[in-house]
Amino acid sequence: MDNMTPVLEVKNISKDFFGNQVLKNINFSMEKGEILGLVGENGAGKSTLMKILFGMNEIAETGGYGGSFFLDGKEAKFTSPFDALDAGIGMVHQEFSLLPDFTTTENIVLNREDRKKSSVLSDIFGNRLDTIDRKAMEKNAIEAINKLGVDLDEDMLVSQMPVGHKEFTEISRELSRVGMKLLILDEPTAVLTESEAETLLMTMKKLSRGGISIIFITHRLHEIMEVCDKILVMRDGVIVSNLDKDKTSIPEITKAMVGREVKGGEGNKEGRDIEKLPDVMKIEHLWVNMPGEIVRDFSISVKKGEILGIGGLAGQGKLGIPNGIMGLYPAGGKVTFEDKEVKLNNPDWCIKNGLAFVSEDRRGVGLLLDESLEWNVTFTAMQAQNKYLKPILGGLIKWRDQKAIEEATNKYIKELQIKCTSSKQKAKALSGGNQQKVCLAKAFALEPKLLFVSEPTRGIDVGAKALVLEALKKANKENGTTIVMVSSELEELRSICDRIAIITDGKVEGILPASSSSEEFGALMISAGKALKKETEK
Amino acid sequence: MKKEIAQSSVKEKIKGFIDSFGWPRLIIAGFLLLLFLVAPLGGISILTSISDVLMRFGMNSIMVLAMVPMIHSGCGLNFGLPLGIISGLLGGTLSMQFGFTGGVSFLVAILITVFFGTLFGWAYGVLLNKVKGGEMMIATYVGYAAVSFMCIMWLLLPYSNPQMVWGYKGTGLRTTISTEGYYLHILSDFLKIKIGNLEIPTGALLFFAFFAFLMWAFLHTKTGTAMTAVGSNPTFAKASGINVDRTRTLSVIMSTVLGGIGILAYQQAFGFIQLYMGPFYMALPAVSAILIGGASVNKASIPNVIIGTLLFQGIVTMTPSVMNSLIHTDMSEVIRIIASNGMILYALTRKSEAK
């Protein structure tokens, strides 16, 4: 029965960041030589789970985790990644951790260099000063590279390598460790070309035959289907499906990824007839160079008074659209708003002409963390529209009107139920949900004709979520604000939008009314996988 | 039990006060108080000491005020203050060269200073926009380079006023030029109050108050608000339609012009224009003064300027006289250097915390 002990068994793992639950009751196990595919939207908790398994410091620093996990039947308690390495877990991160000016060999055996017989120095100062044995190092490195089955030059400097080779160097390094049992690959194919990715997948199969278990995280579903034995789908910090590769299909995985429950959420069935509404904004051949969210060729017309949803899988470019139009990332193409051509790359023009944007990056773009709520709410309107200012000397001096600022801020605090001690409190002192409400208040203070909201409910609790969505609906209904909402939460889009455009690879894949079923949306998103697959075949 | 709770809350209050006030400021304030207390033991008149502190406050406060705009716009501490000072030196020397005397010479000096300050500040600002994140390092070298370049120019520029040029050669400016007959004590003696040993340089204080008020008012305007926001979060400001680079350049121009006017206020009280390496040593005292006043690398206010200048100049004035009279060795320079450099070091290490 001994060989039946799973390599990894995870029992009831949970984790919260200061009250914000990111993982709940995670249970799964892995056999020797098994490849486990882990999929889920951004923020589903995949990375946090992997950080726990790898003993990363930030887990302990933020209060540890609940539950436990077992390696070969023994409970693992890691206080640092070194413990994880010793226990036979290797991890290749999304970002490379390589020394650019060292060669492949040096990187692979770093800190585990072979040593020659002790020198005089090491006799005196201990074995940290042993002379290293370059020949033996090279031999070990080549062995690891061969195990991987790729063509790597062992003498090349990392800084001169193409990205794919860097990735392979990282994997070789993990493989060269003695007693490697479990390899965690966090989106390894994201930076690889198709042929390199293909090589990697083949290597993974070879490794698994050699008895190494692999946890494979990726957004490319066809890769999962190609190599994995089992597939875990995570969503909102829980495992929603545990699927067998042979008994599932890409549509089923996608549905599990994007839908809270398969038959859950009702679409927005208010059934407004938006077809008859006039166009308010026409976007033609928009491209945006936003790293990680590149928009390639996006065209759509936004109807006056509608709520348009923009969805799609992570990295397909949906976030780039509002960021590009509002001038935060370099953009091109033609956008007309109310018969005026929008000046791209010019936030000032956009705000002055009735556009507003609630950014997905609250702390980076959305807020002045070190300033009061008053400033956060009123600043943009003050600067772009000369609101909350008192003219002095016939308008020569524009004096800040403290009274008007306070009134406006308090009005929004009440309206949006922002929990704070006073309007003077600093934005950084608020919780995520309340910060998001402040961002909304900032946009409402502009009284925009068209409002872009990007991931308005990311990382905030359920109560705040409902409030934020309600506020958006209200603004749309009562003030006639046209809203373009970008979100990874399909259910959320379906609940408030009139129609939803799905973005794949920076282009519109299709536009459906919100009342369409999850399956239909899922089908649109999967074509992402199909398209990539086609490219691979080419 | 109740007593314990009360005690702990008092403790917390004290701790909160210390945290907000900052240990270094507390220590320096305590040290200054101590100096004033022991001064009579050394036979030093407290009133004379206070007069000294006030005079030095009038001399230095505008240069400290010059730090404020750049801190607000996120350009950090203006270690390139010598550039502003050089525009002030140009203002002063040109005004004398053109033959203006008395009060008029001071006004003309200010006008010329504003002209050169704007010009230099603009170029300096454009440079700092290219090195975002490393402003303070670059600013230091801008200061060094400007001083060295002007060392050459002071010799080469065709000045001819005999009061200013080297007597034996007839060309090239002297290292120190007396402001007597031009704008010596033009501010300090204006409405001066004299009660026994206590002298209050009302004019100099009013001159500072005027610029401090302008600065305070500016920070309450639309543009001033934008400047603070640019320093607080440049991306937020950009998303709100602010031209971040232009706002930063404006702050650098303001800082440079104020530095120039600051040195004019310094010269009229001190009595001499110090050329060549003179401006070299002016940035550090101004930087440490505003830090002692409680400013951080990205937050500063007018009270920071006033408190900081009083504390810093208090130490500078009091240590030589008190120390010398008590222990008969000159420790003052050492203590001044420890206080000013220590303060800068402290503030720079706290930079990350503030974010």
DSSP alpha helices (H): ranges in B131-243? Answer: 135-156, 202-219, 222-232, 234-239
Can you give the three-state secondary structure of A453-485, one letter per residue?
EECCCCCCCHHHHHHHHHHHHHHHHHCCCEEEE
Q: Do B235 and A384 touch (CB under 8 A)?
A: no
Q: Do A371 and B232 touch (CB under 8 A)?
A: yes
Q: Do B226 and A367 touch (CB under 8 A)?
A: no
Instruction: Residue B147: name the closest of B62, B258, B274, B249 by CA.
Output: B274
Tell me: pLDDT of B69 over 90.
Answer: yes
Q: Do A398 and B223 touch (CB under 8 A)?
A: yes
Q: Do B299 and A352 touch (CB under 8 A)?
A: no
Rounded alpha-carbon distances, angstroms, from residue A275 to A302, A352, A511: 10, 28, 13
Q: Which residues of B touch A452 (CB under 8 A)?
A: none
Tell me: pLDDT of A3 over 60.
Answer: no
Using N-to-C axis directions, what is the helix angle for B283-292 and B46-65, rounded to 10°? 100
Place of tokens 């007069």: B51
Q: Which residues of A touch B299 (CB under 8 A)?
A: 370
Confirm or reject contact between A368 and chain B (CB < 8 A). yes
Beta bridge partners of B199: B194
Instruction: Chain A: give the shortest CA distance to residue B229, in Å.
Output: 7
Q: Which of B226, B236, B241 sits opposite A367 (nearest CB)?
A: B236
Mean pLDDT of B56-69: 94
Chain B interface mutation, best of A325, A378, A380, A389, highest count of B Cβ atoms under 10 Å: A380
Place of tokens 């040993």: B197
pTM to 2 decimal places = 0.75
Cα distance between residue B90 and residue B117, in whole Å: 10
Helix, strand or coil, per DSSP, at residue A538: coil
Confirm or reject contact between A262 and chain B (CB < 8 A). no
Q: Do B229 and A365 touch (CB under 8 A)?
A: no
Q: Which residues of B touch A (CB under 8 A)?
A: 217, 220-223, 225-226, 228-229, 232-233, 235-236, 238-243, 298-299, 354
Q: Which of A364, A370, A398 sits opposite B221 (nearest CB)?
A: A398
Report residue A168: phi and psi, to 5°: -65, -35
Cα distance between residue A139 and residue B157, in whole Å: 70
Place of tokens 């190092």: A137
pLDDT value of residue B332: 67
- CB-based burial label for B326 (10 Å; 0-12, 13-18, 19+): middle
Confirm or reject contact between A390 and chain B (CB < 8 A). no
Chain B residue whose CA is closest to A380:
B240
Chain A residue whose CA is closest to B222:
A398
Q: Are strands B193-195 and A307-311 parallel, antiparallel or unpaired?
A: unpaired
**8-state DSSP, A305:** T
Chain A residue whose CA is closest to B234:
A365
Q: Which residues of B touch A384 (CB under 8 A)?
A: 240-241
pLDDT value of residue A223: 83
Tell me: pLDDT of A57 over 70.
Answer: yes
Q: Do A371 and B240 touch (CB under 8 A)?
A: no
**8-state DSSP, A418:** -
Instruction: Give pLDDT tens digits for B265-308.
Output: 999 999 899 999 889 888 888 998 898 888 888 889 999 999 99
Q: Which of B222, B223, B235 sits opposite A365 (nearest CB)?
A: B235
Q: Which residues of B touch A368 (CB under 8 A)?
A: 229, 232-233, 236
Cα distance between residue A378 and residue A360, in whole Å: 19
Domain ranges of chain B: 61-280
Confirm or reject contact between A439 and chain B (CB < 8 A). no
The tokens describing A29, both together, are: 């196990």
Q: Which of B226, B239, B242 sits opposite A359 (nearest CB)?
A: B239
Instruction: Chain A: give the shortest CA distance to residue B172, in Å.
Output: 44
Q: What is the DSSP string of B172-192?
A: SB-SEEE-TTTTTTTTTTTT-
Cα distance between residue A60 and residue A82, in whole Å: 14
- Edge-to-edge strands of the sheet including A74-75? A20-30, A8-17, A66-71, A74-75
Instruction: Give residue B38's pLDDT band: very low, low, confident or very high (50, 70, 90).
Output: confident
pLDDT value of residue A537: 45
Cα distance between residue A433 and residue A439, in whole Å: 10
Q: Which residue has the higher pLDDT, A384 or A313?
A: A384
Exposure class string for A60-83: b at 16+ Cβ within 10 A, else e: eeeeebebebbbbeeebebeeeee
Mean pLDDT of chain A: 83
Q: Which residue has the higher pLDDT, A475 or B28?
A: A475
Q: Which residues of A touch B228 (CB under 8 A)?
A: 371
Instruction: Chain A: give the shortest CA distance to residue B354, in Å.
Output: 9
Instruction: Chain A: give the shortest CA distance to residue B335, in Å.
Output: 34
Tell me: pLDDT of A269 over 60.
Answer: no
Beta bridge partners of A231: A37, A243
Cα distance between residue A362 and residue A365, in whole Å: 6
Q: Do B240 and A379 touch (CB under 8 A)?
A: yes
Q: Tell me the helices (H) and strands (E) count for chain A, helix number first.
A: 18, 22
Q: Which of A347, A365, A382 sits opposite B225 (nearest CB)?
A: A382
Q: Do A400 and B228 touch (CB under 8 A)?
A: no
Longest pairwise C-alpha distance within chain B: 84
DSSP alpha helices (H): ranges in A326-452? Answer: 347-352, 373-385, 402-415, 432-445
Can you give the three-state secondary structure of A3-42, one letter per residue?
HHCCCEEEEEEEEEECCEEEEEEEEEEECCCCEEEEECCC
CA geometry: angle A47, A52, A57, nearest 5 deg: 100
Q: Which residue has the higher pLDDT, A97 or B219?
A: B219
pLDDT value of residue A444: 93
The tokens describing A191, both together, are: 């930076």
Chain A interface mutation, best of B240, B296, B301, B355, highest count of A Cβ atoms under 10 Å: B240
Tell me: pLDDT of A329 over 50.
Answer: yes
Domains of chain A with bracketed CATH: 2-248 (3.40.50.300), 259-354+448-538 (3.40.50.300), 371-446 (no CATH)
Tell me: pLDDT of B207 over 80.
Answer: yes
End-to-end CA distance of chain A: 47
Rounded alpha-carbon distances, angstroms, from residue A485 to A323, A436, A492: 12, 14, 10
Q: Which residues of A touch B214 (CB under 8 A)?
A: none
Q: Do A384 and B241 touch (CB under 8 A)?
A: yes
Rounded alpha-carbon distances, angstroms, from residue B299 to A171, A301, B44, B296: 46, 45, 37, 5
**Residue pair A451/A443 in contact by the 8 Å Cβ criterion:** yes
Cα distance between residue A60 and residue B172, in whole Å: 68
Mean pLDDT of B153-165: 89
Instruction: Give pLDDT tens digits for A114-151.
Output: 777 667 777 777 777 777 888 888 888 888 888 777 77
Beta bridge partners of A311: A502
- CB-based burial label for A201 (10 Å; 0-12, 13-18, 19+): buried
- Residues with Cβ within 8 Å of A371's Cβ and at least 6 positions away in sequence, in order, are A379, A426, A427, B228, B229, B232
Chain A interface mutation, best of B230, B232, B244, highest count of A Cβ atoms under 10 Å: B232
Q: Are strands A389-392 and A397-400 parallel, antiparallel or unpaired?
A: antiparallel
- CB-based burial label for B349 (10 Å; 0-12, 13-18, 19+): exposed
pLDDT value of residue A2: 46
Q: Which residues of A touch B243 (CB under 8 A)?
A: 348
Q: Which residues of A touch B235 (CB under 8 A)?
A: 328, 364-365
Confirm or reject contact between A382 and chain B (CB < 8 A). yes
Instruction: Chain A: give the shortest CA distance to residue B153, in Å.
Output: 39
Confirm or reject contact between A245 and chain B (CB < 8 A). no
Q: Do B226 and A383 touch (CB under 8 A)?
A: yes
Cα distance between residue A44 and residue A26, in whole Å: 12
Q: What is the ipTM, given to two decimal places? A: 0.82
The tokens describing A361, both together, are: 């990056």
Instruction: Give pLDDT tens digits for A149-184.
Output: 777 888 888 888 877 788 888 888 888 887 888 999
